[in-house]
Chains A and B, each alone.
Chain A
Amino acid sequence: MRDHSLWEKIEPLLARVEKPSRYLNHEYNARVDELQVTGVDSAAAGVAVTSDGAVVETAVKATYRVALLYPDTYELGQSNQAIAILSHAINALSGCVAERSFLPWVDLITLMRERDIPLFTLETTSPVASFDLFGITLPHELAATNIVEALDLAGLPLYSKDRGSECPLVLGGGPLAFNPEPLAAFFDAFVIGEGEEVTGEFIAVHRACLARGDSREETLRALATIEGVYVPSLYAPGKGGALLPQVNGASLPITKRVVADFDACSIVVDPVVPFVEVAHDRFTVEVLRGCSRGCRFCQAGMIYRPVRERTADTIVDAVAQGLANTGYDEVSLTSLSTTDHSQIEQILRRLNRLLANTGVGISIPSQRLDAFGVAMARMVAGEKKTGLTFAPEAGTQRLRDIINKNVTETDLFDAIACAYAAGWLRCKLYFMIGLPEETDEDVLGIVELANRAYAVAKDAAEVNRRSNVRMSVSVAIFVPQPHTPFQWGGQIAHSEIERRLALLRSAHLHKGIKLHWHDPASSRVEAALARSGREASELIERAWRQGARFDAWSEHFDASRWEEAASFCGLSLAELAERDFALDEALPWAHIDSGVSSDFLLSELKRSREAATSEDCSFGSCIDCGVCPALDADVVLGGDSRG
C-alpha cells in the first residue's frame, strides 16, 4: 500500500460532498507531489517522474514519513498553528517529510467507509497507516471521539496494545497531553510541551530504531528515554493510584519541554493558503508565548509558561514576508495576550506604516481589559470597527479576586468608554459561571456589570449613534482544569449549573445586550474527560461506538451517547466531572510536570480562598511559580532576558 495514491478513489466522491475543496491539496504553498512512480527501480533509487515530467525525489522507503492529523475538519485544522509549525520543522529535517491530514466531514467519511477507503493525507493522498509516524494534535477534550474515529478510519487498531510494528507509531501532543491518561490507551507516546523542541529528537530516535529493526517494545523503551516523551504503556498504577514505571529506563515525572529561545525559533512565513474559508483565514504571527497573568482557572496561563516574546524586528519581518508569500489581506498577531507584548505599540506603528494603502488589515484576537488595550485596538482598526472582545470572567470584584483576574470595574468601564467613544458600536463580554465559591450574587453580578457597561457605552458613543449601541454577553461553564490552582475541586453539579443559568436568564438584562451560554451537558463531558485517568479510555471508545464524533459541533453533540457509554462502563459522568480530589491525593496527571510547582498551585488555591490576588511576573516581581528553574528557561521580554 505504501506510496499508493488514493486520489483516484477520492476524486470521484468529491462531486457528492460538501466543500470538496477541503480535500484537494494543491493550495498555494502546499507541497504537490503527484508522483507517478515509474517502476520499482527508480522508486528504490528515490527518483520519480511527476505528471509534469519533472524528475523529483520521491517519498520512498528511505524517507521517514510523518502524517500530522488535526482531529477535526480542514477548516479548523488548517487554521491551527500546530500542524503548520510541526510540518515546517519536520520538512526541514533531512530525509523526512510531513503531510497534513484532517478528519473528513461526515458525508465523505460515509462514502469512504462504504468503499473501504482509509483516512488519507492531503499531499500524496496516501493512507495514514502507511506512514512511519502518525502525529495527532490534541486540542481539547471534545476532540476525543474524533481521534478514535481517525484511528478507525485509518484502519488501525484503536488501542496501542493491539498495534504491531507494521502500524505507524501513534504520537499525541498539545494541551490535552497535560493530562494524557484518558487517551493513554490509544496512543503509543505523547510529547509533553512544545512539539518543535522535541520532534527532531523523537524522529532521530525512532529512525535509529527502525534502522536497527528494533521490536515495538524496544522502540517504545528507546523513545521513553527522551525528555518530555511519555510512553503510557511503560507505566501502571501502583497503590494509591499513582503511576509507577514498569521497566528500567522509564522514569517519572515527565517534564514539559519548552523552546528557550523563542525569538530564534523560525516562524512559518510560507504557510498553506486554503481555498475553503477556514476558521482563521489570515496570516498569523505568534508574537509571544505564555502568559503570566496568573488567572487561577486558566490552564493555558500555567502550562505555556514562561513568557517569551519575539522581538519587534522579528515580528515585523515575518509579517512582511508572510503577506508577500501568501497574498492574505489580513494578519493576526496571536498569543494568549497580545497587547501584553512589551513592544506592542512600536510593532503596531511599524505595521501600520508597512501596510498603509494596501487594503491589508491587522487583527488582535482579544483585547486587554483596559484603556491601553483599546488604544492598541484603535491603532489597527482603521475605519473597520467590527467588534471587540473583553473577558472580565466574573461579575463581582470578590470573585475576580478569587480567580486572580486582576481587572477592576474601572478598567472595564474605561475600556468600554474608550472603545465606544472611538466609534465601536458592539463588543463581546466573556464570563464564566460555576467558578469556585461563586454565589448567586456573583451570577447576578454578571447581568449587573453588563447593564452598567452598556450604560457606559451609551454615554460614550456619539449622540446620534446611541440607538445602535450593542453588546453581547457570552457565558461559559467553568471546567476545572489540570495543572491549575483549581485542579482539586470538581465541577459544580449539573442541576446547580442549570439553576444558576436559569437565575442568569431571569435577571433583567438591557434589551441592547444579547446573552449566550454554553451547553452544560457538553461542559460536563469536558470536565469528566479533563479530570479522569485511564478509566476514561473505554468511556471514549464506547461513546464513539454509540455514534459520538464531532462532539465540539453542537449539532453533532448528543449527551445521551456519553451517558449510555458511561453506564456501560460502570462509570458516572457526574462523578468524574464533580469529584473533589484531596490535596494529598495522587492526581491522575501527577506524573506530568508543567514546570509550575504543585506548591505554587496549592498556595494559589489558598490565596484564592482569602480572595488575595497575585502579581504578574512580567510586570511585577517573581512569585515563585517554579517554572524558570524547573525548565531552565527564563522570562524573555522584547528580546531581553530577565534573570
Chain B
Amino acid sequence: MAEMNFRLRLDFQKHGRLRFLSHLEVVRALERMIRRAQLPYAVSQGFNTHMRYAPGPALPVGTVGLDEHFDLWLTEYLNPALALGRLGDVGLRGLTITAASYVDPRAKGLQATHIHEEYKLVIAVGGAGAVSGVDGVAGAEGDASGTDNDVGAEGDAGGVSDANGAETASDANGANGAETLSASEIVDGLTRVIATGALSVRRGKKNKDYDLTQAIDWMPVACEGQAAATTCEGQAAVDYGERKAGDIVILTMGLRATERGTVRPELLLRAALVDKQGWELKSVVRTRLYEDKELEVS
C-alpha cells in the first residue's frame, strides 16, 4: 500500500454549462484535472491501479452545486494553496475548485458525514418565462438520473434525463391564462406534502418511496417579487438563467440524506404543485453541503 497520509479536501462548484455533467462525469473530470496538475496523488496497488479519492454525495445532471467536496489522498505534503493554484492552472470553466484543505485521513467519508443539503430553486411563475418551454433542470422527474446518492454506480449514472418528465413540466404546466402562483401557495403546497410524511415517485416501472419524516432539515421558505429578483441577480455569476425581473419565486429548503438517499427537491415541488398550472422550474442549486457539527451555525 502506498503512503497516503495526506487527505486533501477540495471544495468545488459545478455551474454554468457544466451543471449538465453527471456525477461520474464530474468525478472523471476532477480526476483528470488532478493528473494535469501533477499533484502527488496516491495510487492504489493491485489488480486495477487507480487514483485514491472519494467524491462527495452525487449531484444530479442539471443541478448546480456551489459547495461540493472531493477528498484526494496524497503521498506527500503539498501546500494547499499551491495545490489550489496548480489546479486552477489546468482547470475547467464551470468546475471551479474554490478551496483546498487537509482533513483527518481516518475521518469518515464525505457521504457519511455531509448529510445536510441546502437547495435553492428558481421557479418561473406566470408571465412569458413560464410558457417559454424553457427548463434548465435535467431529469426533473427525478426518476431517470439514478444519481440520488448512487455514488460509484456502474455506467453513466445521471446521463439519462427523462425527456417525458421534462416535457410535462414545460408544456402541461406552462398553459396560458392560469393565475400567477404566489410564493406562499408554493410553500403551502410543499408543507402539505411534507406533512404527509412520505413521497412516492415512479421510477421506471417501480415506485421509489421517500420517508419525509427523516428527509427534511428545515422547511421550505420562498420569496418573490423584488426580493427574489435581487437574490437572483446577486447569483447571476453562478448561472441562474436569465430570470431577473418579477415572475419568479425563489425557494430554499434544507434536506437531509437518509440511507435511501436524498429526496430531490424538484420531486417535492412537483408533488406540491401537481394540480397547479403556469409554473416552471428554472434552476436547482445545491447551495450547501455540510455535516452535523456545522448545523448550528448554518
A residues contacting B by CB (< 8 A) are 11-12, 14-21, 24-28, 32, 107, 273, 275-277, 323-329, 357-361, 382-384
Contacts and interface: CB of A to CB of B under 8 A. Distances in A.
Contact of A17 (B35, B90, B161): B161
- Label chain A's interface by main secondary structure: loop
Given A12-B136, A357-B43, A24 B62 contact: no
Given A20-B61, A327-B33, A276 B159 contact: yes
Given A383-B46, A384-B48, A28 B135 contact: no
Nearest to B35: A327
A14 B163 CA distance: 9
B28 A359 contact: no
A20 B136 contact: no
A18 B166 CA distance: 12
Contacts of A107: 163
Contacts, number: 115
B36 A325 contact: yes
A560 B37 CA distance: 53
A25 B17 CA distance: 9
Interface stretch (B18-26, B210-218, B220-228): B18-26
A15 B38 CA distance: 34
A327 B139 CA distance: 30
Given A329-B31, A382-B49, A384-B47, A17 B163 contact: yes
Contacts of A17: 161, 163
B159 A359 contact: no
A15 B132 CA distance: 14
A11 B31 contact: no
A24 B90 contact: no
A19 B156 contact: yes
B233 interface: no
Contacts of B38: 324
9 contacts: A15-B62, A17-B161, A19-B22, A26-B16, A275-B25, A277-B25, A329-B50, A358-B43, A384-B48
B132 to A, nearest CB: 8
B29 to A, nearest CB: 6
A359 B49 contact: yes
Contacts of A14: 20, 62, 138
B160 interface: yes
Given A20-B61, A327-B31, A327-B32, A276 B25 contact: yes
A359 B36 contact: no
A15 B50 contact: no
Interface of B: 2, 16-18, 20-22, 24-25, 28-29, 31-36, 38, 41, 43-44, 46-51, 61-62, 90, 92-94, 132-140, 156, 159-161, 163, 166-167
A20 B50 contact: no
Contacts of B51: 329, 359
Nearest to A111: B163
B125 to A, nearest CB: 17
A20 B161 contact: yes
Contacts of A383: 46-49
Contacts of B35: 323, 327-329, 360
Interface centre among B20, B34, B41, B62 (most CB of A within 10 A): B20
A21 B36 contact: no
A283 to B, nearest CB: 10
A313 B55 CA distance: 38
Contacts of B90: 28, 327
A18 B161 contact: yes
B32 A16 contact: no
A20 B60 CA distance: 12
Nearest to A25: B17
Contact of A359 (B43, B134, B161, B167): B43
Contacts of B24: 277
Given A18-B161, A21-B22, A359-B51, 6 more contacts: A14-B20, A15-B136, A15-B166, A24-B18, A26-B16, A329-B51
A14 B159 CA distance: 11
A19 B159 CA distance: 4
Nearest to B61: A20
Contacts of A26: 16-18, 92-94
B266 to A, nearest CB: 11
Given A275-B25, A327-B34, A16 B161 contact: yes
A327 B49 contact: no
A24 B49 contact: no
Interface centre among A14, A15, A16 (most CB of B within 10 A): A15
Given A276-B25, A327-B90, A358-B43, A18 B17 contact: no
Nearest to A382: B49
A131 to B, nearest CB: 22
Contacts of B29: 28, 275
A183 B24 CA distance: 39
Nearest to A360: B35
A15 B161 contact: yes
Contacts of B166: 15-16
Given A276-B159, A327-B32, A16 B135 contact: yes
A21 B93 contact: no
Among A11, A27, A28, A107, the most chain B Cβ lie within 10 Å of the Cβ of: A28
Contacts of B34: 327
Given A15-B62, A32-B93, A384-B48, A24 B20 contact: yes
Contacts of B136: 11-12, 15
B147 to A, nearest CB: 13
B163 A277 contact: no
A539 B136 CA distance: 41
A70 B22 CA distance: 24
Contacts of A382: 49
B50 A359 contact: yes
A27 to B, nearest CB: 8
A326 B161 contact: no
A519 to B, nearest CB: 25
A20 B140 CA distance: 14
Contacts of B17: 11, 24-26
Nearest to A20: B20
Most central of A25, A359, A383 by chain B CB within 10 Å: A359
A358 B92 CA distance: 22
B36 A18 contact: no
Most chain B CB within a 10 A radius of its CB, from A21, A26, A107: A21
Contacts of A360: 35
A12 B134 contact: yes
In the A-B complex, list the 3 residue pairs whose CB atoms are closest, starting with the nearest: A327-B32, A327-B35, A327-B36
B179 to A, nearest CB: 24
A26 B29 CA distance: 12
A18 B20 contact: no
A20 B48 CA distance: 30
A107 B167 CA distance: 12
Contacts of B25: 21, 275-277
A325 B38 CA distance: 10
Contacts of A359: 41, 43-44, 49-51
A359 B28 CA distance: 14
Nearest to B136: A15
A26 B20 CA distance: 12
Nearest to B169: A15
Nearest to B25: A275
Given A15-B136, A275-B29, A326 B159 contact: no
B100 to A, nearest CB: 17
Given A14-B20, A359-B51, A384-B47, A326 B36 contact: yes
A207 B161 CA distance: 44
Contacts of A328: 32, 35
B21 A21 contact: yes
B121 to A, nearest CB: 14
A324 B18 contact: no
A34 to B, nearest CB: 9
A324 B49 contact: no
